[in-house]
Structure 1
Amino acid sequence: MVQSRYTPAISVQLTPMQIPEALPVAGLEFAGAESMNEAGRSLLLHPGHPSEMIVQVQNLEQRPLRISLSVEGNFPTEWCQIGTEGSEIPPRGQMDAVLYFRVPSTFFEDQQAIAPGKKDKLTLNFRSLVTIHIDSGTDREQIYTSEYFHLYIRPYTAYMEFLPILYREVDFIGRFMKIFEQGFQPVIDSFNVMWANLDPLTAPQALLPFVAHWVAWQVDSTWDLQQQRRLIRRAVELYRWRGTRKGLRLYLHLYTGLPLDDDLPNEADKHISITEPFGPSFILGEAQLGNAVLAGGQPYHFIVRLRSNSANPNINEQLIRRIVEQEKPAFCTYELSIENHHN
């Protein structure tokens, strides 16, 4: 596998990390030993995707060897970069190097050979080899070259997975299927993300009025975009709990961003507190004149307290009152208190 003017001091093995399923000369015929050997020395390259060829260099001598690698071929040099673990191989040791290949993602679009009026064919297949310099610059300098390996540039197509294995072995069919993929895949991708267009949190802004109409929600320019998205998404839930403490708290939470504090048992400790001012009922023998309140407080009355920890709370009192008026039962009265606690 190694060509040299001297007794071989090293052995070289090439291992492609991505082998093509089909070779250009292979069709539906039986792949013989020659085709199998060629496939083992072939590397598949998809434009825009990295691919690697592993080069294993084995030192066959009892002395350390200093080596350097280079890659030659009929392809642009910028497509390949070499990564090594060092430059010296110990006696009877081994060193692994990696050839990193990356073809530009615009390879097919940039080809001038396929422009109208051009007669040249698009080049998709290339040849390459690895040259190894041993003890360069000394009287024991030797040069080794590996066998040629092939680089096959092919467009990636997922449609080949839908075909029987028999047809995947034909290189032309893979390139032919790519034409259909480029035509149909944009439509398929649009259907795959259709859910995002119908979710108020991710839908394009132009679609929000349409989505709001589905749930009979009136879009109000007073609300900013993110508030509108949250309200439309939970509109049905707000309808279900309208007229209740839970519904009013949820609405205020969606507007202010203050936490719901469902884990706090004491209503007065919550950031959005909705309480009814009921005190102790009239108790004979304990009431003092001027302090007793018959029936324990004002009926159908509640108090809304908003507690913000932000130094500059973005809370519009007029809008808060509008929300409360809209969500409360018509016969109820209320008080509103907006507090700001910050360090």
Structure 2
Amino acid sequence: MRRAVEGLGTPYPIGTLLPGILQEDPLLMQWMAAFDEVLAPAISTLDCLTAYVDPLLAPSDFTRWLAGWLGAVLDENWPPERQRAAVAHSVRLYRQRGTTEGIRALIELVTGGDVEITDNGGVHWSATPNAALPGEPGAWLTVRVRIPRGTQIDAAALEDLIAAEKPAHVTHRLEVVEQ
């Protein structure tokens, strides 16, 4: 059974909402105070609801829940501030998903490094109907991540992230460079 939060009061005591004649009964007021103690955490949560849905203010466990709600993938090994940033930027990143700019922004967010993406132009499109596609056949991109010397990067996880974010027909190569 979940216990009430010790010392947490409520700004809306139920006993004060009763008619004046009933507020004079000490037993009834103690009984109402017990309800106040049980309801105080729920009232506090509702009063602070905007903070719970702000990834920069929400408790850590709630930030992970928000990530799942928004479809953001978090690595539990990331520091909390990086997880919060990933959730905060997830909608913008989702709009850019599959583009070189979106991949660059996501990898910079994940690694904290400087990211350079080179592609052959096969991932571009044309507004002109029946126009030749730019670049060479066979789309590819190279992702070069420059990180500070001594920084640990899980290259396999980064490969998986790039594979999930880029268009399926585009091949890629990852280069991690320590500066």
Call closer, same or farther: CA 1:325–1:206 in 2, change over 3 Å. Answer: same
Aligned residues: 128
Q: How does 1:89-238 map to 2 (within 5 A)?
A: 193-238=48-93
> Letter of the aligned partner of 1:216 in structure 2?
G
Aligned to 2:140: 301
State the distance in 2 between where 1:301 and 1:272 align. Answer: 16
> Letter of the aligned partner of 2:107 in structure 1?
L
CA displacement 1:90-128 (0-9 Å, x = unmatched): xxxxxxxxxxxxxxxxxxxxxxxxxxxxxxxxxxxxxxx
Deviation at 1:248, TM superposition (A): 0.3
> Letter of the aligned partner of 2:102 in structure 1?
G
Call closer, same or farther: CA 1:330–1:195 in 2, change over 3 Å. Answer: same
Aligned to 2:29: none
Aligned to 2:11: none
State the distance in 1 between where 2:135 and 2:65 align. Answer: 49
Unpaired runs of at least 5, structure 2: 1-35, 122-133
Deviation at 1:238, TM superposition (A): 2.0
Corresponding position: 1:246 with 2:101? yes
State the distance in 2 between where 1:334 and 1:195 align. Answer: 40
> Letter of the aligned partner of 1:336 in structure 2?
L
Pick one of 117, 139, 155 that aligns with 1:274.
117
Contact persistence 2:120–2:139 (CA under 8 A):
no
Call closer, same or farther: CA 1:323–1:218 in 2, change over 3 Å. Answer: closer
Call closer, same or farther: CA 1:219–1:336 in 2, change over 3 Å. Answer: closer
> Letter of the aligned partner of 2:164 in structure 1?
Q
Aligned to 1:109: none
Deviation at 1:326, TM superposition (A): 0.5
Call closer, same or farther: CA 1:307–1:213 in 2, change over 3 Å. Answer: closer
> Letter of the aligned partner of 1:273 in structure 2?
E
Contact persistence 1:307–1:339 (CA under 8 A):
yes
Specify which structure has the higher proportion of strand: 1
Deviation at 1:221, TM superposition (A): 3.0
Corresponding position: 1:312 with 2:155? no
Contact persistence 1:256–1:314 (CA under 8 A):
no
> Letter of the aligned partner of 1:329 in structure 2?
P
Contact persistence 1:274–1:305 (CA under 8 A):
yes
Corresponding position: 1:335 with 2:173? yes
Contact persistence 2:74–2:86 (CA under 8 A):
no
Corresponding position: 1:325 with 2:170? no
State the distance in 1 between where 2:157 and 2:97 align. Answer: 17
Deviation at 1:220, TM superposition (A): 4.2
Q: TM-score, normalised by structure 1?
A: 0.33
State the distance in 1 between where 2:174 and 2:62 align. Answer: 35
Larger Rg: 1
Give the root-mean-square deviation of aligned CA atoms.
Answer: 2.9
Call closer, same or farther: CA 1:204–1:221 in 2, change over 3 Å. Answer: same
Call closer, same or farther: CA 1:334–1:298 in 2, change over 3 Å. Answer: farther
State the distance in 2 between where 1:190 and 1:327 align. Answer: 36
State the distance in 2 between where 1:257 and 1:275 align. Answer: 19
Task: Give 3-state SS (helix, strand or coil) of 1:217's partner.
Answer: coil
State the distance in 2 between where 1:324 and 1:219 align. Answer: 14
Aligned to 1:255: 110
Deviation at 1:273, TM superposition (A): 0.6
CA displacement 1:221-263 (0-9 Å, x = unmatched): 35443332222222222221111011101110110113xxxxx
> Letter of the aligned partner of 1:276 in structure 2?
D
Unpaired runs of at least 5, structure 1: 1-182, 259-270, 279-294
